[in-house]
Amino acid sequence: MEDTVDPRWRKSSYSGNGGSDCVEVGGRGGRVLVRDTKNRTGPLLEITPGAWRRFADQVKRSLARAQRVRAAFM
């Protein structure tokens, strides 16, 4: 039986004004769902909340590291 609960999609805060290169994130049945904003009826990436947290933490660390490197060369 398919879960029909609305996952309440949220667009990435890193989306540009045009929103052409972004993803949306939602939740359903204890899972995190990720989809391409340009293809909302396309495939979904479904992962555990723990895997999502690890992914998001790594992205934040990478962005912070890149900002430090840029600042060192200014």
Q: Find the domain containing 22 and state its range.
A: 10-72
The pLDDT of residue 6 is: 77
In the chain, the number of structural domains is 1
For residue 3, tell me if it sits in a domain: no
Q: How far apart are CA 12 and CA 19, in angstroms?
A: 9
For residue 43, tell me if it sits in a domain: yes
For residue 27, tell me if it sits in a domain: yes
For residue 53, tell me if it sits in a domain: yes
Q: How far apart are CA 22 and CA 17, in angstroms?
A: 10
User: What does pTM read for this prediction?
Assistant: 0.71
For residue 64, tell me if it sits in a domain: yes
For residue 38, tell me if it sits in a domain: yes
The pLDDT of residue 1 is: 40
pLDDT digit string (tens) for the chain, length 74 residues? 455 667 889 887 766 666 567 889 999 989 999 999 888 899 999 999 999 999 999 989 998 988 888 888 87
For residue 5, tell me if it sits in a domain: no
Q: How far apart are CA 37 and CA 22, in angstroms?
A: 6
For residue 2, tell me if it sits in a domain: no
